[in-house]
Amino acid sequence: MKKIIAIDGHAATGKSTQAKKIAKYLGYKHIDSGAMYRAVTHYCLINGWINELINLNSILENLKNIDIQFKTLNNSQITILNGNDVEDFIRKMDVAENVSKIAAIPEIRSFLVAKQRQIGSTNNIVMDGRDIGTVVFPNAENKFFLTASIEVRAERRYEELKLNNENIDFSTVLENVRSRDFDDTSRLTSPLEPAEDAIIVDTSSSSANEIFDKLISLIKG
């Protein structure tokens, strides 16, 4: 039976960073479920289906045309959408501002959860996201829920965006993180919340290496 490690949590808590490090350490496959939602959001944006209103009919009609894969390039995982590397595009602010709206659509969640479970059926994986321990893999061997103060998380996302040459101010990023928190925790389908048996880890005042050491010690038991 394949082994699953689920890492959930709010935006910019370090989920993907830890999932990547743990997967590499254990020799597991890392899946960034958030990148899958971001890829769908990017696909909707480039097709003009997200404006003041979301063109739900067009999105649902074209779900069958969306293929998302992950590949490793120069020791980094990149997201492939319909054969194209979209890793840089899905990290931009326009995607961040719309991904929670797309992720709240039940049909999209069902579409991507099926893909995530398919990947988990054939690989030992570390998957990070919003509902991995509660919905996607409720029987995961290890479940963690990462959290941090909103100011710390906004600062992390701000620095990340600056590295990607995004011309943006901190207050805009802070408001985006606050808005995403609200959207993620209040949506009707698979709201963001810790699984009952998840271990909650606050990453506010610890380094990435310190959090990694803590998680590995918990996994090893």
Q: Answer yes or no: is pLDDT of 1 > 70.
A: no
Q: Which sequence spans correspond to the domains of the chain?
A: 4-220
Given this model, what pLDDT does residue 189 score? 93
Q: What is the 3-state secondary structure (H, E, C) of 49-98?
A: CECCCECHHHHHHCHHHCCEEEEEECCEEEEEECCEECCCHHHCHHHHCC
- Return left, alpha or beta for 208; rule: phi > 0 is left, psi -120 to 50 is alpha, else beta: alpha
Q: What is the pLDDT of residues 42-80, one digit of tens each?
A: 999 999 999 989 999 999 999 999 999 999 888 788 999
Q: Write down the residue that tokens 């380094």 correspond to.
A: 207
CATH superfamily to which 4-220 belongs: P-loop containing nucleotide triphosphate hydrolases (3.40.50.300)
157-211 pLDDT tens trace: 999 898 887 889 999 999 999 999 999 999 999 999 999 999 999 999 999 999 9
Which amino acid type is present at position 120? G
